Structure 1
Amino acid sequence: MKPTTIISLKHQLTQFFNADFITNSAKWTGFIQRERAIQPLQLVLSLIAALSKGNCHSIADLHRQFNGMCLSEKDNVAYKPFHNQLRKDEFPNFMKSLVKSAIAQFSQLETPAQPQKLACFDEVLLQDGSSFRVHDGLGEVFPSRFKRKPAAIECHMTMSLSGLSPTAMTITADTASERAYLPQSQTLRNKLLLADAGYVDFDYFEQINQHRGYFLVRGGKSLNPIIVEARNGKGRRFPKLVGKALKDVCRQTNRSAILELTVRRGKQEFRLIRRWFTEEKRYCIWLTNLPRESYSTDDVMAIYRCRWQIELLFKELKSDTNWQRFATAQKAIVEGLVWASLLALILRRSIALQSAKSVSVYKAAKNVDVWLLPILTAYCHQALSEITNHLDWAIRYISNNALKSQQRKSKKDRTLDGIYEKLNA
């Protein structure tokens, strides 16, 4: 453990949990107009503490956490004024502004070096969306795609692979199109975007090309372009496949497990890789503009597996902050708590990732009452002289109890470390 780590973390946290900064953010977003019994800093710290524990099921639990972190009973507030603060229309805007500040302050971490095949990009961005059910009374505000759940929220997220942290998020109804929330193509110059099949948009891909960016996206089952050039995974050409539609090439006509193709859709030509998975008896397709001379088919498939990190992030948000447990029909409360959950995740991950080189953010998130809550309580009580000791303990605890487990060889290429090792080989 380096003393500089504690100094750096203390500086970041003290700067963020500054009473004036939090209060000014609350005033700027209109969340507060005058001084009240519920101070913005104490509210934010209690929300992060409650949502990080993973066992918070109601607004009453949030209220109890707030009172439990007060210095004395005189500072306790009743349930109704606490609830009234959360139901304000400005509450989600306040929490969203803090998330933006946290992204700017905590996302630029010194993470393990990426392999050169990824480090050559200014950034590798992961894109995905995740939906979850909310109170049925919000059906008109957040309509769902499915009849069995009348109301649902969709969170559209962009995540940085290097920092393992979100860079942007938007909250919409579950019915909103995922493609509308992709990063703007002009921002992707010398960046690589990884996305799932729901984000296939050929006009968008062409715009990325024009701005000298890169994409790697899984293709859907309906994709059926014309083959211009065909090779197998070892580079052997298949001239007989030229001119055929992709779906006309099946296991009966070509037994190659991997096909490296140049295909045409309308006036656009692009690189397509198709692999047959014997156990699942299905094809998987990837679309990319990564140059073939620099990125083999194995490289492309390995790089795409990095996208699993955003799935893990959503899993952490849903399971460890209880997104789906709040039975409230108040739109502002639901949105505000989603943003507060993301804020809690960013802070947890930042401390954990700076504590040890081989840390498991999943393990670190499981025992926040041991290492994170004392830090938050110290800031709540303005006991700044105690912060260093609490951070020292947190780093030692995480380094000893939240490191990544040794993976079996059969599963090694599924982990981010294993993928990096393969790309470095």
Structure 2
Amino acid sequence: MTIIAIKHQLMQFFSDVSLQKMALRCGFIQRVRNIEPHTLILSLITALSSGKVTSIAQLHQKFNGLCPDEKQHVSYRPFYNQLRKAAFVEFVKILVRFAMAQWAEKHLVLPKKLAKFQNVILQDGSSFKVHSALADVFPCRFQATAAAVECHMTLSLLTQSPVKMAVTADTASERTHLPIPATLHDQLLLADAGYVDFEYFEQLSRSGGSFIVRGGKSLNPQIIRARNGQGKILSKLSDKPLKSVTRRTNRSEVLDLICRRNGYEFRLIRRWFAEEKRFCLWLTNLSVEEFTANDIMDIYRCRWQIELLFKELKSHTNWHRFTTRKETLVTGLIWLSLLALLLRRSLARRLFPAVSLLKAAQNTEIWLKPIIENLLQRAWSETCFWLEKAKVYLSQNAFKTPQRKSSKNKTLDACFERLNS
């Protein structure tokens, strides 16, 4: 995308008129006052992207510091009252949904092995503790922590951008936030062990979708057919429960099994990790003819991209730094962190496609803050200058560095290379 196209998209998204209309429609504002939606949202994005803000007071200081006009400066109390509104959460959610729709672009070409799928969908959740006063609203699963939230994320591998998020109490079931099976026709779902749900897998298969989900230790289905990692048939394992096949009875490092549980047949890959002295399981409905056991394990490694997104949110977007007692403030700031990440990632990738997202997130004060300050000043004639300057900086200072030999095989590029071979 050209610099001019990026400028027009920013002007459209952060338009005073459109932001005010959305804020009025959802009830966030009744009339325009000193705290304009345009200034508020951009100042909060700047503050959250810096990674150094730990209190609402600091957000207030950032707001006043970034206001184009000193007459718009406000005291702490009215600023705080605006952020604690329930309508503030709805307003930010609307902006996030618009950002997900408008800024999503294909940044990856799927390898040959995955060409049959329209998309690869990654699903995961991440939790962090909040103020103990919120224990009734956000109870935690663990006794050591009184209150915690869980953020359920659905991410597209093609765009490497979230397509859906939900914020719940830590005790909420992860499985209820899986994508609806009918929406995954001709798509592949990758998920962690917390999402094992055989009824869901059956519905997904009937809907024309595919899945690879890591299995838990407690799984013990009946083996129907068995092969080792090289495809050799192991007839002695047929009709045995999975847990009866131990390292003593079978020395194969990888087992490729067709299993049955309550009448539902599925494929299960089991690998022995000698260094950790444990088995790891993957469940899938992908066929043996099209995908080897090694293919399944390589494809599942792509799920690490959603873990990297959570790490970026927590480490570089202030996702767990606020100790407020207000539910709406906690929820609103979580959604705002996601909006800040969407803007940062979208701009970085469009300005420099080979960008290291980690390096871009670590240096927002240098390349992103001037762009946002330009948007706050509404100096549209200078926007292209700051975008071009950010492009030069990212291309010189935020390029991907070669991985160490020990880590290279685990990267997304290495997985794609193996799946293309």
Would the TM-score normalized by the shorter structure come out above 0.5? yes
CA contact (8 A) 1:129 1:154 kept: yes
Runs of 4+ with deviation above 6 angstroms: none
Q: Find the partner of 2:7 among 6, 10, 22.
A: 10
* Distance of 2:330 and 2:115 partners within structure 1: 38
* Distance of 1:167 and 1:186 partners within structure 2: 16
Aligned partner of 2:93 in structure 1 is: 96
Q: Structure 1 length as normaliser, TM-score? A: 0.98
Aligned partner of 2:380 in structure 1 is: 384
* Distance of 2:100 and 2:23 partners within structure 1: 18
* Deviation at residue 25 of structure 1 after TM alignment: 1.2
Q: Find the partner of 1:301 among 297, 302, 327.
A: 297
Aligned partner of 2:21 in structure 1 is: 24
CA contact (8 A) 1:56 1:321 kept: no
Aligned partner of 1:36 in structure 2 is: 33
Q: Quote the RMSD (CA, aligned, Å).
A: 0.9
Which AA in structure 2 matches 1:302?
Answer: D
Residues 268-287 of structure 1: pairs in structure 2 closer than 5 A: 268-287=264-283
Which AA in structure 1 matches 2:276?
Answer: E
Structure 1 gap segments, 5+ residues each: none
Q: Find the partner of 2:75 among 73, 78, 100.
A: 78
> Is 1:144 paired with 2:140?
yes
Structure 2 gap segments, 5+ residues each: none
* Distance of 1:365 and 1:324 partners within structure 2: 16
Q: Deviations over 1:175-205 (max 9, x none)?
A: 0000000000110000100000000000000
Q: Report SS of the residue matched to 2:86.
A: coil
CA contact (8 A) 2:108 2:157 kept: no
* Deviation at residue 120 of structure 1 after TM alignment: 2.3
> Is 1:185 paired with 2:181?
yes
Residues 275-354 of structure 1: pairs in structure 2 closer than 5 A: 275-354=271-350
Q: Deviations over 1:296-350 (max 9, x none)?
A: 1111100000000000100110111222211110111110000000000001000
* Distance of 1:64 and 1:84 partners within structure 2: 15
Aligned partner of 1:258 in structure 2 is: 254
Q: Decide which moves more: 248-257 or 322-331.
A: 322-331
Q: Report SS of the residue matched to 1:56.
A: coil
CA contact (8 A) 1:413 1:422 kept: no
* Deviation at residue 224 of structure 1 after TM alignment: 0.3
* Distance of 2:124 and 2:80 partners within structure 1: 32
Q: Decide which moves more: 331-340 or 409-418.
A: 409-418
* Distance of 1:119 and 1:63 partners within structure 2: 49
> Is 1:154 paired with 2:150?
yes
* Distance of 1:119 and 1:385 partners within structure 2: 43
* Deviation at residue 72 of structure 1 after TM alignment: 3.0
Aligned length: 421
Aligned partner of 2:413 in structure 1 is: 417
Q: Find the partner of 1:121 among 106, 110, 117.
A: 117
* Distance of 1:63 and 1:118 partners within structure 2: 47
* Distance of 2:145 and 2:188 partners within structure 1: 35
Q: Structure 2 length as normaliser, TM-score? A: 0.99
